[in-house]
Amino acid sequence: MSRILQITDMHVVSPPGLVSGRLDTARILENAIDRILEDWHKFAPIDVLIATGDITDRGDNESYRLFRKQIERLPAPTLLIPGNHDRREPLRACFSDAPHMPVSGKINWVHDLPDLRIIGLDTLIEGQGGGELDADTLEFLALALDQAGETPVLIALHHPPFQSGIRFMDAIGLESTQGLSDVLQNRTNDIRLVCGHVHGFIVGSIGLRVAISSAAVCSSFPADYRADAPVGYTTHPGGYAIHSWDNGFRSASVTLADGAGPYPFKVPETA
Ligand SMILES: [Fe+2]
């Protein structure tokens, strides 16, 4: 059994910076880590954390350091891939001692757990909102899948390989999914894809494979499919995801919204 906690789209900016002049994402991340720590005993053991991009909002060194300080409060190693708001070299520099971090080029990696292979794919085109899986990355994926054989695989990438229905996000989606679809085709092992970018929990697919975007830590994009939907975010609390392999995949979305309970279903009758 393997268990992975995914956090995505933290968009950290170091204080006193705010995202869009409103979101104190450093504070939001700190509060999220507090909440995850409070609940850790409920879903432990977690083998590894995956941060699926938009780790910082502006790609600066100080924001990566701040993110690292927070994520290291959690008692599991962290694997990282960049999102469109990240910058590859500052991200690499901040986590250069992480065993999965390549010394140069795209931040593609493989991390093996006893019964599950995790593959991280770099979709970042620096300076652009949209993402791509270039020929080298697809080749990396094909080789990593070949080597996996019948072992189940979790693939992590920032941009979803499906349309979210949110027009302003689909305009900056993954440029082409055909290459990915081709690499996944005709494989007989269990493969699931997890991503971020669309700041919401969406279950989609690519070919016959399930692909899931996790809720974001810092903000939410509403499921508004109208052509004239307002372009922007909401401050509705986001969340994170827990993916398990236990003779099959199971993915849970965990809210960061406030609430109370659990309360018993039956209350004692009063006299
Ligand atoms: Fe984002």
CA distance 167 to 179: 23
Please give the distance, rounded to the nearest whole angstrom, from the Cα atom of residue 4 to the centre of ligand 1.
20
CATH fold, domain 2-255, is: Purple Acid Phosphatase; chain A, domain 2 (3.60.21)
How many separate helices (H) and strands (E) can be counted in the chain? Answer: 6, 11
Predicted confidence at residue 270, as pLDDT, reads 77
- Mean pLDDT, rounded, for 68-78: 98
Predicted confidence at residue 268, as pLDDT, reads 82
Please give the distance, rounded to the nearest whole angstrom, from the Cα atom of residue 199 to the centre of ligand 1.
6
CB distance 192 to 204 below 8 Å: no
pLDDT in tens, 18-56: 999 999 999 999 999 999 999 999 999 999 999 999 999
Please give the distance, rounded to the nearest whole angstrom, from the Cα atom of residue 54 to the centre of ligand 1.
5
Please give the distance, rounded to the nearest whole angstrom, from the Cα atom of residue 250 to the centre of ligand 1.
24
CA distance 141 to 155: 9
User: Could you please report the per-residue DSSP string of 55-72?
Assistant: -BSS--HHHHHHHHHHHT
The string over 76-85, giving b where at least 16 C-beta atoms fall within 10 Å of a residue's C-beta and e elsewhere, is bebbbbbbbb
CB distance 77 to 120 below 8 Å: no
Residue ranges of domains in the chain: 2-255
Please give the distance, rounded to the nearest whole angstrom, from the Cα atom of residue 216 to the centre of ligand 1.
7
Q: Name the pLDDT band for 269 (thresholds 50, 70, 90).
A: confident
Predicted confidence at residue 267, as pLDDT, reads 87
Predicted confidence at residue 224, as pLDDT, reads 97
- Average pLDDT, rounded, for the chain: 97
Predicted confidence at residue 37, as pLDDT, reads 98
Going by C-alpha positions, the residue among 217, 223, 214 that lies closest to residue 195 is 214
Please give the distance, rounded to the nearest whole angstrom, from the Cα atom of residue 41 to the centre of ligand 1.
28
Q: CA–CA distance from 72 to each of 26, 79, 199 (Å)?
A: 14, 12, 23
pLDDT in tens, 209-226: 999 999 999 999 999 999
pLDDT of 141 > 70? The answer is yes
CA distance 136 to 141: 9
Please give the distance, rounded to the nearest whole angstrom, from the Cα atom of residue 187 to the centre of ligand 1.
31
Please give the distance, rounded to the nearest whole angstrom, from the Cα atom of residue 55 to the centre of ligand 1.
8
- Burial label, 108 (beta-carbon count in 10 A; 0-12, 13-18, 19+): buried
Please give the distance, rounded to the nearest whole angstrom, from the Cα atom of residue 109 to the centre of ligand 1.
21
- Mean pLDDT, rounded, for 167-190: 97
Q: Which long-range contacts (CB under 8 A, 24 or more apart) does 23-30 make?
A: 23/218, 23/219, 23/233, 23/235, 25/57, 25/218, 26/66, 28/217, 28/218, 29/66, 29/67, 29/70, 29/217, 29/218, 30/70
143: part of which helix (H) or strand (E)? helix 135-148
